[in-house]
Structures are given as C-alpha cells and as structure tokens.
Chains A and B, each alone.
Chain A
Amino acid sequence: MKEKYLEDIKEIKEIMNRSTRFISLSGLSGVSTGLIALVGVAAAYLMVFQEQNWLIEQAVSIDATNLFYLLLIAVVTLGLSIGSAIFFTTQKAIRQSQKVWDQQSKRLLVNLSIPLVTGGLLCLLLLYKGFVGFLPALTLVFYGLALINASKYTWPELRNLGLFEIVLGLLAIQFIAYSLLMWALGFGVIQVIYGLIVQKKYK
C-alpha cells in the first residue's frame, strides 16, 4: 500500500517536471557560448576599446568604422552563440529521443526572449546615442533577467547564473572602467563554469 503511494508521488513529480521543463538544453551549449563570448570580448577590446577612452558614463561620439566593428562583433558573437547552443541542444535531444521543438522549448524560448530582446533594443538605442560605456552593464543585467525568467522552464540552475550576471552588471556600472572585465567574466568565465556544472549533473 505504502509503496504504491510512494511510487505515485515519484511519478507525479516526474511528469510535472517533464511537462514543464525543457530538459534537453545542453550544458555544452553554455561552455561553447562562454568561449565564443570570451573571443568576442577580446575582439571588442583589441579592435575598438583599446584605442578609445569610451568606458565612461558620458556619451561619446562614435565614428562609423568603430560603430561598424562593434555591430559586426555583436552580430557574429550572437550568431555563433545561438548556432552552437542550437547544435548541442539538438544533439542532446536526439540522444534522448526527445523533440527539440515542442511546447516546452517554445515556452523556454519565449520567456528567454522577452527580457533579452528588450535589453537588446535598449542597448542599440543607447549605442546610437553614444552611451557605449553602459553597454557591458546593461547587456549583463538584461541577460541575467532573461535567464531568471527562463529558469522556470528548464534547468533551475539558470536562476543562480542569472543572479550572478545581474550582480556583475551592477558592478560594471559602479566600476565602469572595468566593465569589459565584467563582460568577460559574466558572458565568458561564469557561463563556462555553469555549463560544466549542468553538463556533469544532467548527463
């Protein structure tokens, strides 16, 4: 009798998890996007920020060449990150014989996108107005909020990762001269570490 109910509870928990969370999100996608982000930040430093004194609270006037470089780095980094995340996640879904595009993954994507797209548009507007110094901080904060929002629909660990990103984003405003370093830490180092943790835990 007791065993039957224990078994029932186990089953209930399992179904609740499986029906709400997208479990095929691969930890390796965290590692790969982290490494890509590190290269992206390095490129932004070498190609743009090294020569300029732009990590300040005031608006600066950005010339067309540097604006082009910044947008190019952003687009390439983002594209490669999304691509690698989709690749590793699809691989994992195939291995687990799960569908990649189902109700759970759609819900995950929508909830991740709302804060992320908001932040992205805000950053583009600020870049257009010359407030380039705020970009590392704001991208970190909005990315963190997006992760926290998405964590309900996939690995709960994303919530803590999101909190770390927000803290680093706030530090990047306070110590704006070091905000590129926060960028590398948040999008690169911490993301790689979390990717490895998730990968190990949910193999």
Chain B
Amino acid sequence: MKEVLKDLDKAFENRIRLGIMSALVVNDYIDYTSLKELLDVTDGNLASHLKSLEKCGYVSYEKAFVDRKPNTNYSATEKGKEAFIKHIKAIEQLLQ
C-alpha cells in the first residue's frame, strides 16, 4: 500500500490539473481557449494550474498568433506523460 501511495503524484491531486493533463496526453496540443472551454474553468483558475504544471516540467507551451490575436498552445512534456501514466497506474492498483 505504501509503495502505491508513493506513486500518486501530488501535482494531480487537484481536479483541474488532472483534467488538463488528461486532455493534453491524448492531443498533440490544445490552445488556451479550447482548454478553458473544455474544462469549463475561469481564466485565473486555469492560468494558475497551468503555471504549477509548468513548474513541475509536465507542461510546455508555445505562443502563436491566429488572425493577429495571441494564442498559446499547450502540450504535455515526455516527463508529464510519464508522470500521468504512473499516477493512473497507482490509482488502478488502489482500486483493485
């Protein structure tokens, strides 16, 4: 039990951060607005959770311009994907 709990990632304890990662691991990238609509969260909320995932090195972003409007594309890093899979596996084991 202790072993499994160690694999649970603190970064994914929050629902919104978990949601962000779920969406990013199955997509090459998602832009900020789509992510906001997908998760149905406020700007401030999404931005702060993205920031903390960036700090862990789980999420990277690229600024782009669409029709001269700034748009940021977010994607999951290799490290982020690995951490997410590890987290899911730990949950699965806990549920068994």
Contact = CB atoms under 8 A, between A and B. Distances in A.
A15 B94 contact: no
Contacts of B27: 19-20, 103
A6 B95 contact: yes
B26 A5 contact: no
A19 B30 CA distance: 9
The SS class assigned to the B binding surface is: helix
Interface in A6-58: 6, 8-9, 11-12, 15-16, 18-20
B47 interface: no
Given A15-B22, A16-B23, A19-B27, A102 B34 contact: yes
Given A2-B94, A103-B34, A8 B26 contact: no
B22 A12 contact: yes
Contacts, number: 44
Nearest to B8: A5
B23 A19 contact: yes
Contacts of A12: 18-19, 22, 88
Interface string A98-114: 01001100000000000
Contacts of A11: 15, 18-19, 22
A19 B19 CA distance: 10
B26 A19 contact: yes
A99 B91 CA distance: 33
B64 interface: no
Interface in A85-122: 99, 102-103
A16 B26 contact: yes
B91 A19 contact: no
A5 B91 contact: yes
B56 interface: no
Contact of B38 (A5, A9, A15): A15
A2 B94 CA distance: 8
B38 A19 contact: yes
B95 A5 contact: yes
Interface in B14-57: 15, 18-19, 22-23, 25-27, 30-31, 34, 37-39
8 contacts: A11-B19, A15-B23, A15-B39, A16-B23, A18-B38, A19-B26, A19-B38, A102-B34
Interface in A141-199: none
Contacts of B22: 11-12, 15-16, 19
Residue picked from A6, A15, A20, most chain B C-beta under 10 Å: A15
Residue picked from A6, A19, A103, most chain B C-beta under 10 Å: A19
